[in-house]
């Protein structure tokens, strides 16, 4: 199963797909639960995003490198062992060197094990692709996840608490809109961001279609001449 | 078929063994750092409650809670070089959305040196204001919710809306934390009383921190000189509390 359906896109194209066109949160819409839960402040968003990216990158590298040794029938438990190992490493390292961050994210770090973004990418992508494409995919997906978390968290923290990464930004007279810190606010910001992402996608598609049309027009003109 | 199953099992086992081995290595490397982080955090918070403290001793097994809904998690007898200063207790109970954990310090004269919210998972902006350093229940004097307990005596009423100002729109949180303070400070008082009577010798409990044993011995032997002052102060505190009841 490994060689057919190989991804022929370049490293950069695969990476870019994760950021916008196949963004795990905004387009694939997986792993939303934990991302809405941790985005009540920016530092949590950054921490969670980087932790996810780390686990994603190393799980994809390992699974892609060993994809021919992993028997199809036992692949899921093996994926989980690998993902759980890297998640535990992140958890231990954060506890040892970033105790404050580890405390504020609580249970969501261990829960990376069952995050469907990782399981989804490993199953759908790196278990079939070369290591180099898997690295591109992991970084694209990981950073695509991270930037969305940071944007959601920034909006929610700014409006809901008047701060950015813990620093008071809004004037003291500003009354925080609690709604944004609470779960419904997370859904609202997430929905708005999805529509913004769709608009960006559409405009990029339009521009590319336009460029392609111009090229073909020019070719036609040349042929006619 | 049977062979295949065994083969799959062996492959799975091989992956698991490699993963376990690498985790063991990471654990070995990070374990001392994690332990020292926890120790530092504890020392820092004890230092906040008792700035003059130099050592502490684990007395968790000697302190019990009078209310089954409040759990005493850890208790320490805090000392300076000469004598005990008071008791610090970490206790928790159920709050609005999960456990609330509080560290509270009680001096020998039964006054509360301070209350620190260690863990609260209540609604941000409402119950979570208990732990916010900028949320004031008394805006003029800039007193935070846990800050208002400082200086109270363990014999006070600790009733929300009577002598405790609640957090706006977070009565459950306010009541939960007040309950911890009330129960834990009573337990601390009971321990201090037992210690003053000599029934709970502080050095009898094991698990004392490294330097703790030495000052403890000095404290008990030097009790005649240093202890008389504190001991005469304690009954005074008790009589005033008895009068207020």
Out of A82, A88, A160, closest to residue B125 by CB: A160
What is each CA distance from A176 to A37, A125, A171, A193, B123, in whole angstroms? 19, 42, 10, 21, 14
Which one of B24, B29, B34, B133 makes the best mutation probe of the A interface by having the most chain A beta carbons within 10 Å?
B34
Query: Do B37 and B65 belong to one domain?
Result: no
Look at residue B238 in the predicted model and tell me its pLDDT.
41
Query: Do B1 and B64 belong to one domain?
Result: no
Look at residue B207 in the predicted model and tell me its pLDDT.
40
Query: Do B33 and B141 belong to one domain?
Result: no
Mean of the per-residue pLDDT values for chain B? 78
Out of B16, B33, B125, closest to residue A181 by CB: B125
The answer, yes or no, to whether residue B213 has pLDDT greater than 50, is no
Integer Cα distance of A55 and A112 in angstroms: 8
Instruction: Show residues of chain A in contact with B124, CB under 8 Å.
Output: 40, 160-161, 178, 181-182
Query: Do B70 and B166 belong to one domain?
Result: yes
User: Considering B49, B72, B87, which residue would you say is the last residue of a domain?
Assistant: B49
Chain B contact present for A93, CB below 8 A: yes
Look at residue A64 in the predicted model and tell me its pLDDT.
93
User: Considering B49, B67, B87, which residue would you say is the last residue of a domain?
Assistant: B49
Chain B contact present for A95, CB below 8 A: yes
Chain B contact present for A176, CB below 8 A: yes
Is A88–B34 a contact, with Cβ atoms under 8 angstroms apart? no
User: Considering B12, B29, B49, which residue would you say is the last residue of a domain?
Assistant: B49
Query: Do B188 and B237 belong to one domain?
Result: yes
Chains A & B: contacts with CB separation below 8 Å: 60
Q: B131 is written with which tokens? A: 């732990």
Query: Do B39 and B157 belong to one domain?
Result: no
Look at residue A179 in the predicted model and tell me its pLDDT.
87
Q: A55 is written with which tokens? A: 């686990």
Taking chain A (225 residues) in runs of 10, the rounded mean pLDDT of each run is 64 87 88 87 89 93 91 90 93 88 81 89 90 92 94 91 82 83 90 91 89 87 81
pLDDT, one tens digit per residue, over B96-137 is 888 899 999 998 889 999 898 888 878 777 888 888 777 888
Is A89–B23 a contact, with Cβ atoms under 8 angstroms apart? yes
Query: Do B88 and B44 belong to one domain?
Result: no
Is A99–B124 a contact, with Cβ atoms under 8 angstroms apart? no
The model carries a pTM of: 0.72
The answer, yes or no, to whether residue B206 has pLDDT greater than 50, is no
Interface of B with A (CB under 8 A): 7-8, 11-12, 15-16, 19, 22-23, 26-27, 30-31, 33-34, 37, 41, 121, 123-126
Query: Do B64 and B92 belong to one domain?
Result: yes
Q: How far is A22 from chain B (nearest CA, A)?
A: 31
Q: B77 is written with which tokens? A: 């007898």
Please enumerate, as own/partner, the contacts of A23-29 that have beta carbons within 8 Å and a separation of 24 or more: A23/A144, A23/A145, A23/A148, A23/A197, A24/A117, A24/A120, A24/A121, A24/A141, A24/A144, A24/A145, A25/A144, A25/A145, A25/A148, A25/A149, A25/A190, A26/A148, A26/A193, A26/A194, A26/A197, A27/A197, A28/A117, A28/A120
Query: Do B64 and B164 belong to one domain?
Result: yes
Q: B178 is written with which tokens? A: 């007040």
Instruction: Show residues of chain A in contact with B7, CB under 8 Å.
Output: 71
Query: Do B42 and B136 belong to one domain?
Result: no
Instruction: Show residues of chain A in contact with B126, CB under 8 Å.
Output: 178
Domain count, chain B: 2
The answer, yes or no, to whether residue B210 has pLDDT greater than 60, is no
Instruction: Show residues of chain A in contact with B12, CB under 8 Å.
Output: 74, 77-78, 81
Query: Do B104 and B166 belong to one domain?
Result: yes
Q: Is the CB of residue A79 less than 8 Å from the CB of residue A101?
A: no
Residue (of A92, A122, A132, A125) closest to A109 by Cα position? A92
Structural domain including B180 reads 55-244
CB-count exposure of residue A202 (10 Å: 0-12, 13-18, 19+): exposed
The answer, yes or no, to whether residue B205 has pLDDT greater than 50, is no
Query: Do B140 and B231 belong to one domain?
Result: yes
């Amino acid at each position: 199963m490994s060689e057919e359906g190989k991804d022929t896109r370049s490293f950069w194209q695969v990476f870019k797909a994760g950021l916008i066109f196949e963004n795990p949160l905004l387009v694939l819409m997986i792993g939303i639960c934990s991302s809405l839960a941790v985005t009540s402040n920016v530092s949590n968003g950054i921490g969670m995003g980087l932790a996810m990216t780390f686990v994603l990158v190393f799980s994809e590298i390992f699974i892609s490198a060993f994809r021919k040794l992993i028997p199809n029938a036992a692949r899921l438990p093996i994926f989980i062992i690998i993902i759980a190992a890297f998640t535990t490493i992140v958890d231990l390292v954060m506890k040892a060197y970033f105790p404050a961050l580890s405390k504020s994210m609580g249970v969501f770090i261990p829960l990376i094990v069952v995050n469907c973004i990782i399981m989804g990418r490993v199953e759908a992508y790196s278990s079939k692709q070369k290591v180099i494409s898997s690295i591109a995919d992991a970084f694209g997906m990981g950073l695509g996840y991270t930037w969305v978390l940071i944007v959601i968290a920034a909006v929610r923290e700014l409006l809901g608490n008047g701060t950015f990464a813990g620093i008071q930004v809004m004037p003291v007279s500003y009354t925080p809109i609690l709604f944004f810190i609470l779960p419904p606010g997370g859904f609202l910001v997430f929905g708005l961001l999805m529509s913004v992402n769709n608009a960006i996608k559409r405009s990029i598609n339009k521009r590319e279609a336009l460029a392609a049309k111009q090229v073909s027009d020019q070719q036609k003109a040349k042929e006619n001449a | 078929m049977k062979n295949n199953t065994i083969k799959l099992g062996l492959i799975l086992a091989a992956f698991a063994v490699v993963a376990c081995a690498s985790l063991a290595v990471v654990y070995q490397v990070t374990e001392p750092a994690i332990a020292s982080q926890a120790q530092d955090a504890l020392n820092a918070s004890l230092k906040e409650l008792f700035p003059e403290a130099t050592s502490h001793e684990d007395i968790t097994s000697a302190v019990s809670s009078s209310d089954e809904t409040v759990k005493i998690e850890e208790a320490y007898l805090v000392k300076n070089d000469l004598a005990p200063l008071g008791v610090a207790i970490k206790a928790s109970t159920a709050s609005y959305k999960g456990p609330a954990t509080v560290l509270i310090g009680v001096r020998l004269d039964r006054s509360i040196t301070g209350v620190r919210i260690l863990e609260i998972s209540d609604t941000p902006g409402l119950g979570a204001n208990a732990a916010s350093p900028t949320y004031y229940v008394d805006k003029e004097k800039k007193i935070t919710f846990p800050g208002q307990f400082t200086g109270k005596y363990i014999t006070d009423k600790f009733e929300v809306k009577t002598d405790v100002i609640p957090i706006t729109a977070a009565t459950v949180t306010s009541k939960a934390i007040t309950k911890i303070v009330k129960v834990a400070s009573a337990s601390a008082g009971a321990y201090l009383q037992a210690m003053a009577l000599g029934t709970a010798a502080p050095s009898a409990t094991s698990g004392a921190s490294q330097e703790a044993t030495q000052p403890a011995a000095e404290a008990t032997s030097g009790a005649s000189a240093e202890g008389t002052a504190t001991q005469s102060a304690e009954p005074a505190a008790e009589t005033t509390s008895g009068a207020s009841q």
